[in-house]
Amino acid sequence: MVDELSLLVAEGNKLAEKRTWLEKGYAELLVSINKALSQIPDMSQNPISFILREYTSGGCCALKRQVVIKLVFDADAYLEMELRKEGEYEWETEPILNPSILTIRTFAAKLEEIFKFFINEVQKINEENNNAIKIISELLEKI
């Protein structure tokens, strides 16, 4: 019994240390990512959203929730995390400034997938822009 109690205390202390490290590490990583993304100039481009995880709230009126990572292009580009809540008529959003440990672990596990998704979406937009530029250029040459 005493051995188990000692082991539980030791494991609990490790848990506390790792939680603290995850919170600080996530914050530092987000600052570093946003510093790199700030090299993308300001533009009026709609944000690109990646659904990190979805769940349903408990209670009598179970509502959908989504944790979303957004690539925002206003000012300098940056990532932000938000919570989308299914409302009575539309989705409500609020920023997540201090994500849960579960959300941080999910973010870390899906980071490569997140960036691949954003790259793919930006490439699609670039291709659509190239197509529009081609059409406009051809029309300008004919006019």
The order of strands in the sheet holding 64-72 is 48-56, 64-72, 78-86, 91-95
As a whole number of angstroms, the distance between CA 112 and CA 123 comes to 16
Query: What is the structure's pLDDT at 135?
Result: 96
Mean pLDDT of the chain: 93
Reduced to 3 states, what is the DSSP secondary structure of residue 21?
helix
Query: What is the structure's pLDDT at 67?
Result: 96
Total number of domains in the chain: 1
Asked if pLDDT for residue 59 goes beyond 80, the answer is no
Bridge partners (DSSP) listed for residue 69:
50, 81
For the stretch 73-100, pLDDT in tens is: 988 899 999 999 887 788 889 999 999 9
Asked if pLDDT for residue 32 goes beyond 90, the answer is yes
Query: What is the structure's pLDDT at 17?
Result: 97
Bridge partners (DSSP) listed for residue 84:
66, 93
Query: What residue numbers bound the domain in which 12 lies?
Result: 2-142
Buried b (16+ CB within 10 A) or exposed e, 105-140: eebeebeeebeebbeeebeeeeeeeeeeeeeeeeee
